[in-house]
């Protein structure tokens, strides 16, 4: 399977699964070959062989919406630990550890920084790869705007604050790998913040 992104530190494989066309990312340390999977979304028959091939240890969850956690039982069933933020833990069928804001998850020599970005869900979490221009944004940020807050004004204000304070402080060249659809960059999206606020979604 071709790599979606690669530099001297990290190799990222992207797989699209399920009826909601979810992105699943395998984040691999280029030096040691160890990996984590971000979002056990669906189609465990596709994901589990890749977990074995890419030496996946833990599975990280960006948020607890059903389309992002359909394969949680299957990955736990073969021994992978699943992590999720406390705010979304109740949305999973089961989990093994909580991911706190600013936790550092070590994957071989790689370090992934957890950034809590509530709004789409209470426990939404993004993961920044230290030393590489990569952010795994879950459903917090997409090309063209923040994730859906389903008409809830409080949640919309919360996700705008999360994007502005936690993500738009990152460098312009940061590549954003979202939970659905195509990549974007922080520099592409940042100038449109006020447009999103004005439109209200």
pLDDT tier for residue 65 given thresholds of 50, 70 and 90: very high
Pairing of strands 22-29, 10-17: antiparallel
Q: What is the pLDDT of residues 147-186, one digit of tens each?
A: 999 999 999 999 999 999 999 999 999 999 999 999 999 9
Domain CATH code at residue 159: 3.60.15.10
Helix (H) or strand (E) holding 145: strand 145-146
Structure token pair of residue 177: 């790998």
Per DSSP, what are the bridge partners of residue 193?
none
Domain tally, the chain: 1
Parent domain of 106: 5-199
**Cβ atoms 5, 134 nearer than 8 A:** yes
pLDDT exceeds cutoff 90 at 1: no
Arithmetic mean of pLDDT, 29-35: 98
Q: What is the pLDDT of residue 45?
A: 98
Q: What is the DSSP string of 74-89?
A: HHHHTT--EEE-GGGG
Arithmetic mean of pLDDT, 110-136: 98
pLDDT above 70 coverage of the chain, percent: 100
Pairing of strands 82-84, 56-60: parallel
**Cβ atoms 30, 10 nearer than 8 A:** yes
pLDDT tier for residue 123 given thresholds of 50, 70 and 90: very high
Global pTM value: 0.98
Rounded CA separation 38/194 (Å): 30
Rounded CA separation 47/52 (Å): 9
**Cβ atoms 70, 42 nearer than 8 A:** yes
Q: What is the pLDDT of residues 84-96, one digit of tens each?
A: 999 999 999 999 9
Q: What is the largest CA-CA distance in the chain?
A: 47
Arithmetic mean of pLDDT, 51-58: 98
**Cβ atoms 95, 73 nearer than 8 A:** no
Arithmetic mean of pLDDT, 192-201: 96
């Amino acid at each position: 399977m071709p790599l979606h992104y690669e530099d001297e530190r990290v190799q990222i494989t992207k797989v699209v699964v399920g009826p909601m066309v979810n992105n699943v990312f395998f984040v691999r340390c280029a030096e040691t070959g160890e990996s984590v999977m971000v979002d056990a979304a669906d189609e465990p028959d596709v994901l589990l062989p890749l977990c074995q091939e890419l030496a996946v240890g833990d599975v990280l969850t960006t948020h607890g919406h059903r389309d992002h956690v359909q394969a949680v039982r299957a990955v736990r069933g073969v021994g992978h630990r699943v992590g999720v933020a406390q705010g979304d833990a109740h949305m999973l069928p089961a989990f093994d550890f909580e991911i706190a804001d600013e936790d550092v998850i070590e994957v071989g020599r790689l370090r992934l920084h957890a950034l809590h970005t509530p709004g789409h869900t209470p426990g939404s979490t993004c993961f920044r790869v230290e030393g590489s221009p990569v952010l795994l944004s879950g459903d917090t940020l997409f090309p063209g705007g923040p994730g859906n807050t389903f008409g809830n004004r409080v949640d919309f204000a919360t996700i705008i604050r999360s994007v502005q304070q936690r993500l738009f402080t990152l460098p312009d060249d940061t590549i954003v790998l979202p939970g659905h659809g195509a990549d974007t960059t922080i520099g592409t999206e940042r100038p449109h913040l006020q447009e999103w606020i004005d439109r209200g979604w």
